[in-house]
Structure 1
């Protein structure tokens, strides 16, 4: 299978992510009520719905311009740390895209790695802190390793997805180092991190969209 993602296709993916997040309101809110402020779903939903308002104009932009704009929209709309972190991720990825009009699978990997680095740098966090990074880092790592091994695109994408799922689930037994859960007696142990859940949703939807 050949992977070629244009701005139009990326916005189709964003629309699917928005639906996924919208449908999981109760689950994400319940998780965040246990480990955080209970507003993670509201913030994420608000951000993606805001991006969708500009769907048509974003779809007509160059990839780098679209990523830059998406980052700015999220940063200006979403409250809390999520807005700054997601905004930083998209803006960092925009620099990788340059003048490209479409992403192949190797450029997609570079973009995801840039987003990961943007989040880690801005949030001063790393894997094991019980955050969204714990879904994204293993996903990107397994994706990159699959491509370096010369695995076919479908297999590499499935590795990306499974890495996100495994990483998300691993947060259940982690002690929080960042965020509200850090201040709890159990530091969130026994509960999956809601930020890792919504990050995993995005990767799952991306892979399912590309492998349809």
Structure 2
């Protein structure tokens, strides 16, 4: 096992991004099913295309610093993902990179601060609040749980695991909600009874992060 990982370096961040791409590919049909119930039925395809483009970019060259790496991910997503998810996920990674700065690794507090900046970017871009039935409903609890775990002295692997659990709980809590933002809001009451696809893919993002930190420790 070795010592617990105290920081996430660019190699571990790339591992996270690759794991996210793999699980998006694996769950692509499920994400599409969720989106066909309340959206345009393209979330799975859009995210898979975007993450394939990101990994292709990283295969050709991995930027040496955390900020350049995350900004590359963000810009690639903005340019390759259709629908609302491209700008939102793109903003997440762009803001993360801006907050991270020119470093070659992030400690737990640095990772949490950059994810918080990403969340703030999504809020500014999408104007979503808790209970609107969007990716915010998985992302906000995950970032809060990450902060709380780190404040309580948890290491990176434990803190990211807590964040993934909180994301999943937030995702599941979107099922009974009536959507107030985005494409699903056009359905009104009929949007209830379905998990939000953006909250679902956000949970996959945090689960991939938890695995990347657990397995490189």
Q: Structure 2 length normalisation: TM-score? A: 0.92
How far does the alpha carbon of each residue in 1:130-187 deviate from its partner, in whole angstroms, 9 at most, with x for none? 0111111001111101212223444322211111110010000111011121111424
More deviation, 53-62/111-120: 53-62
Equivalence for 1:136: 139
Q: Does structure 1 conserve the Cα–Cα contact (< 8 Å) formed by 2:7 and 2:156? A: no
Structure 1: unaligned runs, 5 residues or longer: none
Aligned position for 1:91: 94
Residue number in structure 2 paired with 1:111: 114
Quickly say closer, same or farther: Cα 1:190–1:140, change in 2 above 3 A. Answer: same
> Aligned to 2:105, what secondary structure does the other structure show?
coil
Unaligned runs of 5+ in 2: none
Kindly report the root-mean-square deviation, in angstroms, between the aligned alpha carbons of the 2 structures.
Answer: 1.4
TM-score of the two chains, using structure 1 as the length reference:
0.94
Q: 1:174 aligns with which of 166, 177, 182?
A: 177
Post-superposition shift, 1:71? 1.0
Q: 4+ residue runs of structure 1 moved beyond 4 angstroms? A: none
In terms of mean alpha carbon deviation, does 57-66 or 7-16 score higher? 57-66
Residues 106-141 of structure 1: CA deviation (Å, up to 9, x unaligned):
111111111111111111112211011111100111
Size of the aligned set, in residue pairs, is 212
Q: Which moved more, 1:167-176 or 1:156-165?
A: 156-165
Say which SS state the counterpart of residue 103 (structure 1) adopts.
strand
